[in-house]
Amino acid sequence: MKINKIDEKLLDYISQEKTSGEFLAKELGISRTAVWKRINKLKKYGYEIESSKSGYKLLKPDESLLPNNLKKILKTRFIGKEYIYFQEIDSTNNYAKNHPELKHGTVVLAENQIAGKGRKGRKWVSAPQKGLYFSIVLHPQIDVSQILKFSLTFPYAVKLALDKYVKNDIYIKFPNDLYMNNKKFAGILLESEIEGDQLTRVIVGIGINVNNDPEDFEGLEVPATSLKIEEGKTFNRAKILADILKYVEDIYLQCLEGHMDIISKVNEILLWKGKTVKVKDNNSELTGILIGLDQSAGLRIMTEDGEKVIYSGDLTLRTN
């Protein structure tokens, strides 16, 4: 269920000061009972609202991901100007895929995903209200051959935005996971639509473990972590989201205009460089030393049979 314009207005009032039910009813053109029902709905959504005889007040308004708050702090030109917020959804990528009318730059975010997706049909575990789970819709009009290079924009932008908040080093694991202390804390799923040799629409699904706790990752087959676990404090998700969207926009534009050598930038922070890795892709498997990215953003691996370049696959560190 979506937060609609009336909810947004209501939140705007109660985030500024304690506001009476009577005033809200008049301003919003609804009954006092309807105001009360909406307040209860918002509380169920997890928003802390103080209710008393004299009115309602939203607590911690600056930390909410609701549209009214995000719009106040967002500094982008087009990414996130259209912002669709869900308390719960199957997957933000599915929503964007099923809505071809969404404009370039639209962001779809959910506090909880009940069927969050990873690559190749895998799952993304989305602990409610703790992480950031969102999709950005882009209409890039670039050549399909550039897709791998283009896809580096997103993990790199997330890394740069988060560097301001964390002390630990962030690495990019090919093709676009983010790691800290050898554990995964963010993943990106790109779903593309192609016409001829042009990339016409891309849905960039970004999942980041922000304030997630260790028990949220029980049963996962990869070592997972969150910013809170590694940094020992909780974070303001709204500020982080606004910063990420700004970095994505800046880097996206710089790459499109040819002003950034994204491959070298990512190469510098590539996880497991110089280490022996295994790369699995469908039925094939390869072992060798990870050298880095090549000119087309493929991954260079030095195997016993010489250097190989791979363009997709799942990497693990060889431990024996």
Please, which residues bridge with residue 292 across strands? 300
Does residue number 106 form part of the binding site for ligand BT5 (CB under 6 A)?
no
How far is 11 from 63, CA to CA, in rounded Å?
Answer: 13
How far from 263 is each of 10, 156, 258, 305, 306, CA to CA, in Å?
Answer: 46, 10, 12, 25, 22
Shortest Å, Cβ 197 to ligand BT5: 26
How far from 266 is each of 153, 157, 158, 302, CA to CA, in Å?
Answer: 9, 10, 12, 19
Shortest Å, Cβ 124 to ligand BT5: 4
Shortest Å, Cβ 231 to ligand BT5: 16
Q: Which of 15, 64, 87, 91 binds ligand BT5 (CB under 6 A)?
A: 91
Does residue number 113 form part of the binding site for ligand BT5 (CB under 6 A)?
yes
Alpha helices (H) along 98-236: 147-151, 153-163, 227-231
User: By CB under 6 A, what part of segment 169-188 binds ligand BT5?
Assistant: 177, 184, 187-188
Does residue number 85 form part of the binding site for ligand BT5 (CB under 6 A)?
no
Does residue number 152 form part of the binding site for ligand BT5 (CB under 6 A)?
no
Strand, coil or helix: 107: strand
Shortest Å, Cβ 67 to ligand BT5: 17
Q: Which of 194, 220, 302, 317 binds ligand BT5 (CB under 6 A)?
A: 220
Residue pair 124/185 in contact (Cβ under 8 Å)? The answer is: no
Q: Which of 55, 61, 116, 288 binds ligand BT5 (CB under 6 A)?
A: 116
Candidate segments 35-43, 52-60, 70-78, 110-118, binder of ligand BT5 by CB under 6 A:
110-118
Q: Which of 69, 92, 112, 267 binds ligand BT5 (CB under 6 A)?
A: 92
Find how far residue 111's CA is from the centre of its chain. Answer: 12
Question: For residues 72-110, b (16+ Cβ closer than 10 Å) or e, as one string?
Answer: eebebeebbeebbbbbebebbbbbbbeeeebeebbbbbb
Candidate segments 22-30, 35-43, 120-128, 281-289, binder of ligand BT5 by CB under 6 A:
120-128
Backbone angles phi, psi at 137, to 5 degrees: -95, 125
Does residue number 133 form part of the binding site for ligand BT5 (CB under 6 A)?
yes
Q: Which of 207, 288, 298, 313 binds ligand BT5 (CB under 6 A)?
A: 207
Of the candidates 139, 38, 135, 48, the residue with the CA atom closest to the CA atom of residue 90:
135
Q: Which of 83, 85, 134, 179 binds ligand BT5 (CB under 6 A)?
A: 134
Question: How many CA atoms does the CB half-sphere of 175 hold within 13 Å?
Answer: 23
Candidate segments 28-36, 41-49, 216-224, 248-256, binder of ligand BT5 by CB under 6 A:
216-224
Please, which residues bridge with residue 302 across strands? 289, 307
Q: Which of 14, 107, 224, 299 binds ligand BT5 (CB under 6 A)?
A: 224
Does residue number 151 form part of the binding site for ligand BT5 (CB under 6 A)?
no
How far is 12 from 106, CA to CA, in rounded Å?
Answer: 22
Shortest Å, Cβ 176 to ligand BT5: 8
Does residue number 67 form part of the binding site for ligand BT5 (CB under 6 A)?
no
Shortest Å, Cβ 6 to ligand BT5: 27
Q: Answer positive or negative: Cα dihedral of 223, 227, 233, 236.
A: negative
What residues make contact with ligand BT5 under the rule CB under 6 A? 91-93, 113, 116-120, 122-125, 133-135, 177, 184, 187-189, 205-207, 209, 220-222, 224
